[in-house]
């Protein structure tokens, strides 16, 4: 019984390693250029990113929040996205003009990098 569990675990680990090697080789985890020449962890990885200076904060009519980095929308180079359902947890105006670190998964949205955050602890203001 324990041998079957061990064998299943080894097979699962091998599949994960093979999948990661494939994605790395295919460029899914490639480095993306970030504002001000900084580096951002590649798409699909959870990591601390930044520091970035928030150029401006927008809240859409539907209540979604956007922290734009590297320029004012639509010229931003990175967007931190907060869904309307999560907005009550955030005081987004406190981030305007501040230098921040962001923890989250980097994805692409409308051809530009973005990070969706769901908890205030994912954004940290730094000196």
Its domain, for residue 22, covers 1-30
Token pair recorded at residue 93: 């105006």
* CATH number of residue 59's parent domain: 2.40.50
Q: Which pLDDT does position 28 carry in this prediction?
A: 35
Token pair recorded at residue 69: 């980095």
Do 50 and 83 lie in one domain? The reply is yes
What is the four-CA torsion angle of 79, 83, 87, 89, rounded to 10 degrees? -100
Do 14 and 42 lie in one domain? The reply is no
- Residue 46 makes CB contacts below 8 A (sequence gap 6+) with 103, 104, 105
Mean of the per-residue pLDDT values of the chain: 74
Do 77 and 90 lie in one domain? The reply is yes
Do 50 and 99 lie in one domain? The reply is yes
- Better-predicted residue by pLDDT, 6 or 16: 6
Question: What is the rounded distance in angstroms from the CA atom of residue 86 to the CA atom of residue 110?
Answer: 21
- Better-predicted residue by pLDDT, 98 or 27: 98
pLDDT band at 46 (very low <50, low <70, confident <90, very high): low
- Residue 21 makes CB contacts below 8 A (sequence gap 6+) with none
Q: Which pLDDT does position 90 carry in this prediction?
A: 96
DSSP state of 111: T
Do 69 and 50 lie in one domain? The reply is yes
Q: Note the pLDDT tens digit of each residue in 50-104.
A: 788 898 999 999 999 999 998 898 899 889 999 999 999 999 999 999 999 898 8
């Amino acid at each position: 019984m324990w041998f079957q569990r061990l064998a299943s675990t080894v097979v699962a680990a091998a599949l994960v390693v093979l999948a990661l090697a494939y994605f790395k080789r295919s460029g899914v985890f490639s480095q993306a250029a970030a504002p001000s020449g900084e580096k951002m962890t590649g798409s699909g990885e959870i990591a601390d990113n930044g520091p970035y200076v928030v150029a401006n904060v927008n809240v859409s009519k539907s209540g979604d929040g956007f922290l734009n980095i590297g320029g004012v929308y639509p010229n931003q180079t990175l967007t931190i996205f907060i869904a309307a359902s999560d907005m009550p947890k955030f005081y987004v105006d406190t981030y305007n003009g501040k230098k921040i670190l962001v923890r989250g998964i980097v994805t692409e949205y409308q051809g530009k990098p973005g990070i969706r955050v769901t908890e205030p602890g994912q954004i940290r203001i730094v000196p």
